[in-house]
Amino acid sequence: MPLAKRIIPCLDVDHGKVVKCINFVNPKQAGDPVEMAKRYSDDGADELVFLDITASSEKRDILRGVVEGVAKAISIPFTVGGGIRNVSDARLVLCSGADKVSVNTAAVENPQVITELADVFGRQCVVTAIDARRNRTPCEGKVMVDTAEGKLWFEVVTYGGRKPTGIDALAWAMQAEKLGAGEFLVTSMDKDGTKDGYDIELTRAISERVNVPIIASGGAGIPKHLFDVLTEGKADAALAASIFHYNQYPVPIVKDYLRKMGVTIRQ
């Protein structure tokens, strides 16, 4: 049997609690990260991602406590991201029990950090998160992609989608792979929070250009969306948050559906 596609619940953590923003405002506490991690793990999640949405130096101790708690509670892999800027930030979470770290803005601003992390911890530890948005303005030197809505390119945005960088996401992915990225977490800022499906064209465009695994993120609303991105989108893993948090589509329901649709999924 081939390698299974991974289903990854994502937990946004703020001050040590899992939060869920509704329409990007009004963060609502959804629960204790250790309890939720345990529940997802028991439910058959293949991996977990924790994003510390308000990471800052004074909150490092809270984060360390959460990571240690999660590491003791579950025996599946988990990634921690949010505010990781250098080797010492990464060491803190990895030595507290995380298996991988995810870098985003820090890597765009200082690509060398990917190499530094890969040299110390191995590339399998280094997830490069790319937030991208569709840009319809033709621009020289960008990889123009044929999509259902015409030719366009994908622009990297940083600071949680607030800052457009002018960087081509496809070129950035290829560069980051050379620098030592072991995996990509690709989030569509156009789709994130919409619940009307992943950006299939973005995911596929990156997956076809790099030879490391791709986790698709942003836009999951129903199990069919995960099917689409894992097949047509050529993603190796699908990440989602809200469809799991409110038990709308628990992990076992999603995995049963995908298995029935012929996707290789871990029992």
Partner 1 sequence: MPQAVIFDYGVGNLLSLKTALEKAGLSASIGTTAKDLMKADAIALPGVGSFTAASSKLDAVKETLQTKIQEGTPLLGICLGLQLFFESSQEGPGDGLSLFKGKNMQLPGTVKVPHMGWNTLNMVKPNELFDGIAEDTYVYFVHSLYPVPKDKKIVCTTTQYGTTFTSSIVSKNIYGTQFHPEKSGDVGIKILKNFVKTVVR
Binding site for partner 1 (CB under 8 A): 1-6, 41, 46-47, 68, 71-72, 75-77, 94-99, 120-125, 182-183, 211-213, 236-237, 266-267
Question: CB of 249: closest distance to partner 1 in angstroms?
Answer: 20
Residue type, 221: G
Q: Which is nearer to partner 1, 36 or 167 (CB)?
A: 36
Question: CB of 266: closest distance to partner 1 in angstroms?
Answer: 4
Q: Which is nearer to partner 1, 137 or 211 (CB)?
A: 211
Active-site annotation holder among 14, 131, 192, 228: 131
Q: Which is nearer to partner 1, 64 or 85 (CB)?
A: 64
Cβ neighbour number for residue 234 with a 10 Å cutoff = 16
- Angle formed at CA 178 by CA 174 and CA 181, multiple of 5 degrees: 85
Question: CB of 245: closest distance to partner 1 in angstroms?
Answer: 21
Q: Is 12 a catalytic residue?
A: yes
Residues in contact with 91: Cβ distance below 8 Å, sequence separation at least 6, in sequence order: 120
Q: Which is nearer to partner 1, 72 or 162 (CB)?
A: 72
**Alpha carbon distance 16, 66 (integer Å):** 6
Question: CB of 121: closest distance to partner 1 in angstroms?
Answer: 6
In the chain, DSSP assigns E strands to 6-14, 17-22, 25-31, 48-52, 78-81, 100-103, 126-135, 145-147, 150-158, 163-168, 183-188, 214-217, 237-240
In whole angstroms, how far apart are CA 6 and each of 151, 178, 235, 256, 265? 31, 24, 9, 13, 7
Q: Is 52 a catalytic residue?
A: no
What positions carry a catalytic annotation? Answer: 12, 131
